[in-house]
């Protein structure tokens, strides 16, 4: 089909998705010019399982996220804006740390989940806090 980047799942969400990704990697079924992408929440054990899942992939995009919307903050997490931003920052720190410990070429994508229910200024604040941790070159932002 010609895809060069393809999201292959949320490997920490289920054994099926984990096993699927491992079958791709262990079976050398990822073409040399293709980058797989995986999704992970900003939760320590989920991020760690995600890195175990991509171990051995030549290239992977780690797409990490946490919910930032007013409804999620107030009704689900019962946390302040600062506490929710800290979840994103802590997730970014762990993603960066593990990417330095594991072999492979990693790219990163962060998303404020429930973006449309998030105040735009706050979404930018959270994204900038993640950028401060990840420190991508200006040309890669």
**Angle (deg, nearest 10), helices 81-101 and 44-54:** 30
Region at 110 (left for phi over 0; alpha for psi -120 to 50; beta for the rest)? beta
Per-domain residue ranges of the chain: 5-140
Q: How far is CA 55 from the centre of its chain?
A: 15
Residue 136 pLDDT > 90: no
Q: What is the pLDDT of residue 95?
A: 98
Model pTM score: 0.93
From CA 113, how far away is CA 68, in angstroms rounded?
A: 6
pLDDT in tens, 24-43: 999 999 998 999 999 999 99
Residue 1 pLDDT > 80: no
Choose among 24, 1, 2, 27: nearest CA to 11.
24
Residue 22 pLDDT > 90: yes
Residue 13 pLDDT > 90: yes
Tokens standing for residue 36: 């797989």
Residue 139 pLDDT > 70: no
Domain 5-140: give its CATH code. 3.20.20.70
Q: Which long-range contacts (CB under 8 A, 24 or more apart) does 45-48 make?
A: 45/12, 46/12, 47/12, 47/91, 47/94, 47/95, 47/98, 48/94, 48/98
pLDDT in tens, 93-114: 999 999 999 988 999 999 999 9
Q: How far is CA 25 from CA 13, 28, 59, 104, in A?
A: 18, 5, 10, 12
């Amino acid at each position: 089909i010609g895809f060069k980047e393809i999201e292959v799942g949320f490997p920490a969400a289920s054994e099926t998705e984990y096993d699927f990704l491992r079958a791709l990697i262990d079976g050398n079924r990822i073409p040399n010019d293709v980058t797989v992408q995986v999704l992970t929440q900003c939760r320590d054990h989920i991020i760690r399982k995600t890195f175990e899942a991509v171990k051995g992939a030549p290239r992977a995009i780690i797409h990490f996220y946490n919910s930032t919307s007013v409804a999620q903050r107030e009704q689900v997490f019962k946390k302040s804006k600062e506490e929710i931003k800290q979840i994103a920052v802590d997730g970014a720190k762990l993603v960066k740390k593990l990417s330095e410990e594991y072999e492979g070429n990693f790219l990163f994508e962060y998303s404020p989940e429930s973006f449309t229910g998030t105040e735009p200024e706050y979404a930018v604040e959270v994204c900038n806090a993640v950028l401060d941790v990840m420190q991508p070159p200006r040309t890669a932002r």
